[in-house]
Amino acid sequence: MVFSSRLLEDAVNEFSRLPGIGKKTALRLVLHLIRQEERNVLQFSDTIARLSREIRFCKRCHNISDADQCNICNNRGRKQQLICVVENLRDVIAIESTQQFNGIYHVLGGIISPLDGIGPEHINIDSLVNRAEKEKTEEIIFALNPNIQGDTTIYYISKKLKPLSVKVTAIARGIAFGGELEYADEMTLARSITNRIAVEHYITAS
Amino acid sequence: MVFSSRLLEDAVNEFSRLPGIGKKTALRLVLHLIRQEERNVLQFSDTIARLSREIRFCKRCHNISDADQCNICNNRGRKQQLICVVENLRDVIAIESTQQFNGIYHVLGGIISPLDGIGPEHINIDSLVNRAEKEKTEEIIFALNPNIQGDTTIYYISKKLKPLSVKVTAIARGIAFGGELEYADEMTLARSITNRIAVEHYITAS
């Protein structure tokens, strides 16, 4: 691309460094910003600057936070003895959107994956075990992606939790709502048969 | 979406105001920025702020510029008597990318479209006619999108240019390179037959 303005070129280059944004999309975004009111553009710019300066992580659950402890941990209406363990912040947002979970979280910040060089020491496992002991946690629910890495991580952490008297569970796996049996992979279908539930629970859960 | 941090929520909302960026994409972009070095994020923020404060438009061709006159107009290596008329900045960038045009531009900033309430007085037509007269322009090439609005605009402007002794042309229309005759619409195919060119030109042009 050839630009008539150096500033325009700089802006397009900056935007195209974002994931999934190519040069053409970047140009569209920049031209959109040029047409906006100065006040709105400066506010956008300021929010981005604040991201780098002010974002912190909750000292308790490692979630993104404005203060030492995040809004979710601070909410005394939530069950403080029920911890949901997730891989990252996006999973927290996904679960919060269901409005079905009233406990608190623990963000691992990754998943055990030896092929990617990520071992137990690279993610927030020690702080989870310490926390469960100190806070007298009653139940830990693992909500990790259903794959080998997720299973490995669950297995590793639950062994570490053995000495504590905490109930350890994992979210159910099975055929997704609206899915079709014939297209489900064998592993999912097999597990959904092994972990079948009584119909009375089936109906109250949906 | 439910957020654990007010700042995170603000940032996601700001990004999702950009065209074509939904909440999920916005979240992905914000999480990406959080992981970057502070220096890079501040530079990004600064470039956006400068967009609103420093972007100007070339007084001659209405292209986006850093100064009173844009890089293209200022380039004395380009034919100053050959003007290519385009609808917007994106068209300038598209034509510049071909590296086939060595004249200068005139950005209309829109196209005559009565249905959208855009008349000749809303786009940069007067300045084009004044300019062509003052600069003793030799040729004006219309590079507008091939549709009714484009044709109307060409017709209107070329009537205004009649009193001047300037050659008025328009970019060729026809079957796109790599296109197939059987799928071309009738209008394009009909025009490409009417405006057929001698094979000797055909070969030198490709």
Average pLDDT value for residue range A92-103? 87
Kindly report, residue by residue over B88-136, the tens digit of the pLDDT.
988 898 888 888 889 999 999 999 999 999 999 999 999 999 999 999 9
**pLDDT band at residue A200 using 50, 70 and 90 as cut-offs:** low
| Contact (CB<8Å) B72/A97 | no
The proportion of chain A whose per-residue pLDDT surpasses 90, expressed as a percent, equals 60
Exposure of B12 in the CB half-sphere (CA atoms within 13 A)? 18
Per the prediction, chain A carries an average pLDDT of 88
| Among chain A residues, CA nearest to B11 | A47
What pLDDT is stored for residue A99 in this prediction?
83
Domain range list for chain A? 6-54, 78-171, 172-206
| Residue partners of B156: CB distance under 8 A and separation at least 6 | B112, B120, B125
Kindly report, residue by residue over B58-73, the tens digit of the pLDDT.
999 999 988 889 889 9
- A162-168, Cβ contacts within 8 angstroms, sequence gap of 24 or more: A164/A129, A164/A132, A164/A133, A164/A137, A166/A132, A166/A137, A166/A138, A166/A139, A166/A140, A167/A138, A167/A139, A167/A140, A168/A139, A168/A140, A168/A142
Interface-testing mutation among B17, B46, B48, with chain A (most A C-beta atoms within 10 A): B48
What pLDDT is stored for residue B119 in this prediction?
94
B64-65 and B56-57 as β-strands: parallel, antiparallel, unpaired?
Answer: antiparallel
A78-171 folds as: Dna Topoisomerase Vi A Subunit; Chain: A, domain 2 (3.40.1360)
**pLDDT band at residue A131 using 50, 70 and 90 as cut-offs:** very high
B57 has pLDDT over 50: yes
Residue among B190, B113, B187, B194 nearest B150 (CA) = B113
| Contact (CB<8Å) A70/B14 | no
Which of B2, B20, B45 lies nearest to residue A93, judging by beta carbons? Answer: B2
CB pairs under 8 A between A and B: 161
- CATH class assigned to B77-171: alpha beta
| CATH of region B6-54 | 1.10.8.420
Of the two residues B183 and B14, the one the predictor is more confident about is B14
Kindly report, residue by residue over A27-49, the tens digit of the pLDDT.
999 999 998 999 999 999 999 99
B39 has pLDDT over 60: yes
A103 has pLDDT over 50: yes
Residues of B in contact with A75 (CB under 8 A): none
d(CA A45, CA A39): 10
d(CA A69, CA A65): 7
Residues of B in contact with A29 (CB under 8 A): 18-19, 21
CA of B91 to nearest chain A CA: how many angstroms apart?
11
What pLDDT is stored for residue A177 in this prediction?
75
Residues of A in contact with B107 (CB under 8 A): none
